[in-house]
């Protein structure tokens, strides 16, 4: 199907957009190779596969020097923040208690195979949440979930849909949120946004803000100052009549009934963690089998390095197990 997106108030034909796995120019391929060589000289050998290099280059408008700087800063941050240790040892034992104030969960996939990530901000109360947890632990959990998203959820979705899936489809439900509550979480949102943009570039596919309250557009003008223009172009601000727009992107059966879909998972969609990542058909597969299947779909460029690794020993199967 022919598709288009809105970027800087102009209609952009996505069929003509290059710089993505499977659709690169010779010049872009050369820049990927140049960036890889530069990073190898600096002693980096992990996370420099073809799709990852493209993401950093896209984030810096294919300026190799800037992409290199961004990557090196990211790797330094990973070491300073202790990402590898977080992945191995982090236990968010207060998760269910925090969930009461700030529900966050993954649920199935959109029409393009992206994992759907949902947040409900209506009950958020940082004052009460900080009696249970800390901002630092919330950020550690954010990073843990980013890593799990990359190493566990995305590969399973890629296997299911027979193509490389690199991004998420996010729904942020603002029902019950007032302007005062938005300002109260500004500090956390600023730090969380900085991590997402600078440390996990080009991971946002679609971002829907639904049930946006009166006056939110004005508040968003402040928030978007924290975001780069490419990120802003992927964000859709919707009021209460959001259902038809969401269903253009998400199958009705994959959208929770509470958000206008028809899905009613046993025990609640917010606790099910339903998706390709928990389907035995799409997890625990050997890397070479995935490569062959993707190659058969004529997008062999998508698979280089460890991007499609399916067996992950770093995470437990159940993402919602509060007992760790």
- Pair (172, 262) in one structural domain: yes
Q: Give residue-wise pLDDT tens across range 22-61.
A: 999 999 999 999 999 999 999 999 999 999 999 999 999 9
- Pair (209, 97) in one structural domain: yes
Residue 68 lies in a domain: yes
Count of domains forming the chain: 2
Q: Is the pLDDT of residue 300 over 80?
A: no
Say what the pLDDT of residue 242 is. 97
Q: Is the pLDDT of residue 286 over 60?
A: no
Residues 155/310, Cβ–Cβ less than 8 Å: yes
**What average pLDDT does this structure show over 105-110?**
98
Q: Give residue-wise pLDDT tens across range 54-82.
A: 999 999 999 999 999 999 999 999 999 99
Range of the domain at 32: 20-81
Between 97 and 310, the more confident residue is 97
Per-residue pLDDT band for 284 (boundaries 50, 70, 90) equals low
CATH code of the domain containing 121: 3.40.525.10
Residue 227 lies in a domain: yes
Q: Give residue-wise pLDDT tens across range 152-179.
A: 999 999 999 999 999 999 999 999 887 6
**What average pLDDT does this structure show over 80-97?**
97
Say what the pLDDT of residue 310 is. 36
- Pair (171, 41) in one structural domain: no
CATH code of the domain containing 67: 1.10.8.20
> Considering only 24-38, 212-226, 267-281, which range has the smallest mean pLDDT?
212-226
**What average pLDDT does this structure show over 17-24?**
92
Say what the pLDDT of residue 25 is. 97
- Pair (224, 282) in one structural domain: yes
- Pair (29, 114) in one structural domain: no
Say what the pLDDT of residue 230 is. 74
Q: Is the pLDDT of residue 198 over 50?
A: yes
Residue 13 lies in a domain: no
Residue 213 lies in a domain: yes
Between 196 and 177, the more confident residue is 196
Between 317 and 314, the more confident residue is 314
Per-residue pLDDT band for 223 (boundaries 50, 70, 90) equals confident
Q: Is the pLDDT of residue 119 over 50?
A: yes
- Pair (264, 185) in one structural domain: yes
- Pair (224, 264) in one structural domain: yes
- Pair (109, 212) in one structural domain: yes
Residue 324 lies in a domain: no
- Pair (274, 184) in one structural domain: yes
Query: How far apart, in whole angstroms, are the C-alpha atoms of residue 170 and residue 33?
Result: 32
Residue 197 lies in a domain: yes
The pTM (predicted TM-score) of the whole model is 0.83
- Pair (163, 29) in one structural domain: no
- Pair (188, 154) in one structural domain: yes
**What average pLDDT does this structure show over 126-131?**
90
- Pair (158, 225) in one structural domain: yes
Residue 315 lies in a domain: no
Say what the pLDDT of residue 194 is. 93
Between 255 and 228, the more confident residue is 255
Residue 111 lies in a domain: yes
Mean pLDDT of the chain: 84
């Amino acid at each position: 199907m022919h598709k288009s997106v809105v970027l800087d108030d102009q209609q952009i034909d996505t069929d003509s957009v290059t710089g993505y796995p499977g659709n690169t120019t010779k010049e872009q391929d050369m820049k990927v190779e140049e960036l890889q060589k530069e990073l190898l000289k600096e002693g980096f050998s992990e996370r420099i596969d073809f799709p990852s290099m493209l993401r950093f280059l896209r984030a810096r408008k294919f300026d190799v020097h800037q992409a290199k700087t961004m990557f090196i800063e990211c790797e330094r941050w990973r070491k300073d923040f202790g990402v590898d240790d977080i992945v191995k040892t982090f236990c968010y034992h207060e998760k269910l208690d925090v969930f009461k104030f700030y529900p966050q969960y993954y649920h199935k996939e959109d029409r393009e195979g992206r994992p759907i990530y949902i947040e409900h901000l209506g009950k958020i109360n940082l004052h009460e949440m900080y009696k249970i947890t800390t901002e630092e632990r919330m950020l550690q959990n954010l990073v843990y979930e980013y890593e799990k998203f990359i190493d566990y959820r995305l590969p399973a979705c890629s296997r299911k849909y027979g193509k490389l899936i690199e991004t998420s489809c996010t729904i942020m439900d603002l029902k019950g949120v007032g302007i005062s509550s938005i300002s109260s979480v500004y500090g956390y949102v600023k730090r969380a946004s900085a991590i997402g943009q600078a440390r996990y570039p080009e991971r946002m596919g679609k971002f829907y803000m639904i049930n946006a309250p009166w006056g939110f557009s004005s508040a968003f003008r402040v928030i978007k100052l924290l975001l780069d223009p490419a990120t802003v172009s992927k964000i859709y601000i919707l009021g209460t009549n959001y259902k038809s727009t969401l269903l253009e992107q998400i199958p009705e059966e994959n959208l929770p009934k509470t958000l206008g879909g028809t899905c009613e998972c046993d025990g609640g969609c917010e606790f099910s963690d339903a998706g390709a990542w928990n389907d035995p058909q799409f997890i625990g597969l050997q890397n070479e089998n995935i490569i062959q299947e993707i190659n058969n779909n004529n997008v062999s460029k998508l698979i280089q390095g460890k991007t499609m690794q399916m067996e992950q020993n770093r995470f437990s199967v159940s993402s919602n197990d509060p007992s760790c």
